[in-house]
Chain A
Amino acid sequence: DAKTTQPPSMDCAEGRAANLPCNHSTISGNEYVYWYRQIHSQGPQYIIHGLKNNETNEMASLIITEDRKSSTLILPHATLRDTAVYYCIVRVEGTGNQFYFGTGTSLTVIP
């Protein structure tokens, strides 16, 4: 079951940075934070993941607080194509390895 809390919706102006928060106050030491997004009528798409260090790739940056109880996904220059539902997932390590999605944050990028 989902162990994260995200705001249900956010808006962002095109070209500006989109900062999507996620709370995961019960995260344990071996659990990673993953971010996926789902554009309407498509399957979810992997964005980024991290354990405790900040991470950056060509799509986004992931900032994890020192106590690991929350994180922020940053889309540095949001475009209209970034309009999607963004899911923050805490993934259990080990044999299970399931990804439990919550309801996510619906991000709307406004022209």
Chain B
Amino acid sequence: DTGVSQDPRHKITKRGQNVTFRCDPISEHNRLYWYRQTLGQGPEFLTYFQNEAQLEKSRLLSDRFSAERPKGSFSTLEIQRTEQGDSAMYLCASSRWTENTGELFFGEGSRLTVL
């Protein structure tokens, strides 16, 4: 079990640039989640996939954000025209969903700093 891996771990960019984060879930997990976390706050739900289908998007996910999971394995989260308010830790999690459990396994996160 190699765990959930995220790349890059840190990204510094200038306002207006596009950034992309990648998440590789645990291999047999069919659900993949993206969360955002700012300093002093708990993780905030952004979106999740079951296999390749994006089943829900939070209202926090503005038009500048797009997430994909094309083959039901890894996922990417792209932020276009970054703003300073996008600075945060972006967390990916995966789970093997069953009816009664489905606890999440989180990666270490990708920290974004927008200058």
Contacts and interface: CB of A to CB of B under 8 A. Distances in A.
B4 A99 contact: no
B85 interface: no
Contacts of A21: none
A41 B107 CA distance: 11
Contact of A98 (B40, B56, B101, B109): B56
Interface residues of B, number: 27
Nearest to A47: B103
A100 B108 contact: no
B51 to A, nearest CB: 14
Nearest to B91: A43
Contacts of A102: 42
Contact of A103 (B40, B97, B104, B108): B40
Interface residues of A, number: 24
A89 to B, nearest CB: 9
B93 to A, nearest CB: 7
Contacts of A101: 35, 42-44
Contacts of B43: 44, 101
Interface hub of B33, B91, B93, B103 (most chain A Cβ within 10 A): B103
Contacts of B104: 36, 44, 46, 99
Contact of A2 (B42, B100, B107): B42
B40 A43 contact: no
A98 B91 contact: no
14 contacts: A2-B42, A32-B100, A36-B104, A42-B109, A43-B4, A43-B93, A43-B106, A43-B108, A44-B93, A49-B103, A87-B42, A99-B33, A99-B104, A101-B35
Q: Which 8 A-B pairs have the closest CB atoms?
A: A43-B106, A101-B42, A46-B103, A101-B43, A98-B45, A44-B106, A103-B42, A43-B107
